[in-house]
Amino acid sequence: MRWLYILALLPFGVFSQTQSIISSIAGVRTCLNNTECSSSRSASYLFYDEAKNAFYLKLDFTALRTGVDSMDTWLDDLKGKYLYLKAILRKEEFPMLSNSNAKSYPVNAQVYMNEVWEDQPVEISIFTTENSQLNYGQTVSNYNRYKVSFGFSLDPKTFKLDTMPHHLTETIFISIGLGFINELEPGMEKFVKEAYDH
- What is the set of domains in the chain, with CATH numbers? 23-197 (2.40.128.110)
> How many separate helices (H) and strands (E) can be counted in the chain?
3, 8
* Ranges 72-76, 120-124, 128-132: which has the least confidence: 128-132
Are 59 and 83 contacting, i.e. CB atoms less than 8 angstroms apart?
yes
Strand-pairing partners, residue 57, are: 46, 85
Q: Is the confidence at residue 1, as pLDDT, over 80? A: no
Residue 140: is its pLDDT beyond 60? no
| Residue 197 pLDDT grade (very low, low, confident, very high; cuts 50, 70, 90) | confident
Buried b (16+ CB within 10 A) or exposed e, 115-152: eebeebebebbbbbeeebeebeebeeebbbbbbbbbeb
Examine the pLDDT at 138 and tell me if it is beyond 50.
Answer: no
Instruction: Give the whole-angstrom CA distance, residue 45 versus residue 110.
Output: 16
Residue 43 has pLDDT above 80, yes or no: yes
Q: How many CA atoms lie within 13 Å of 148's alpha carbon, on the beta-carbon side? A: 28
Looking at the chain, the whole-number percentage of residues with pLDDT higher than 90 is 64
pTM of the model: 0.83
Average pLDDT, the chain: 85
Q: Region 150-179: what's the mean pLDDT?
A: 95
Question: What's the CA gap between 195 and 198, in Å, rounded?
Answer: 5
